[in-house]
Amino acid sequence: MSAPSWRDPRLLLGLLLILVSVVVGASVVGRARDTTGVWALAHPVGAGAPITQADLRVVQVHLDPSTLSGYVPASTDPVAGTVALRGLGTGELLPVGSLGRVGDLTSRPVTIPLAGNVPRGVVEAALVDVWVVPSATSTPTSTSISSSASTSSEAGEPRRLVEAAEVTSVVDGGGALASRSGADVQVLIPEGALPTVLRALSQDDDLVLVPVPGAGDRS
């Protein structure tokens, strides 16, 4: 059997396929290495907290242009006066849509005193549902504007006032010099639910914080 000639169409086709494979492979590897620097959180930042360069670190990402446009590029320094509109966790890419000014915030921090121990999972940056357990002497408290709030209006029946509120701080109220046991938990309450929550706090009602499953500490 004679050796194939360089003019054999089958040999030329094979060489062409090898060349195309090499070029395509090199192109794919090159695109995979084509990354862009964006800002990511160096530590947790709560809603309403200012965002400065000290809170950020640069990470290299490979994202399609439509997705990449949703994050702040590392070539852009944070604008003075910018605050987080929601809690941001460590390592989270800095999203454009979660930044704004103080006036853009739609929630306000409210301190909720807890009589007993802080429930497991109630930590800074966690999400909690705020429930009220009316006392026997309190006047009925209207339900919250939350879409999934309980519709029960019976006196003494527990009701959910706020859904998925962010915890901004937890302060232990115990200790030898403390006037009471328990803890104070600061929670961001939507403006529309403020009257309901403040009314419950002004009475003898117990407010209970229930952690939202899967939305724990973002540290």
Q: What is the pLDDT of residues 12-23, one digit of tens each?
A: 777 778 887 877
Structure tokens at 207: 């407010």
Task: Kindly give, in sequence order, each residue whose CB lies less than 8 Å from that of residue 68, ignoring residues fewer than 6 positions away.
Answer: 36, 38, 61
The domain 36-103 having CATH identifier 3.30.70.3400: the answer here is no
Give the pair of three-digit tokens for residue 172. Answer: 């232990």
- Give tens-digit pLDDT for 58-79: 999 989 999 999 999 999 998 8
CA-CA distances (angstroms) from residue 126 to 11, 89, 209? Answer: 65, 10, 11
Per-residue burial over 59-83, b if 16 or more Cβ lie within 10 Å, else e, is beeeeeeeeeeebbebeeebeeebb
Domain ranges of the chain: 36-103, 106-211
pLDDT tens string 22-41: 777 766 655 656 789 999 99
Q: Is the pLDDT of residue 147 over 50?
A: no
Helix (H, G, I), strand (E, B) or coil at 31: helix
Q: Is the per-residue pLDDT at 84 higher than 80?
A: yes
- What does the alpha-carbon distance between residue 86 and residue 184 come to, in Å, rounded to a whole number? 21
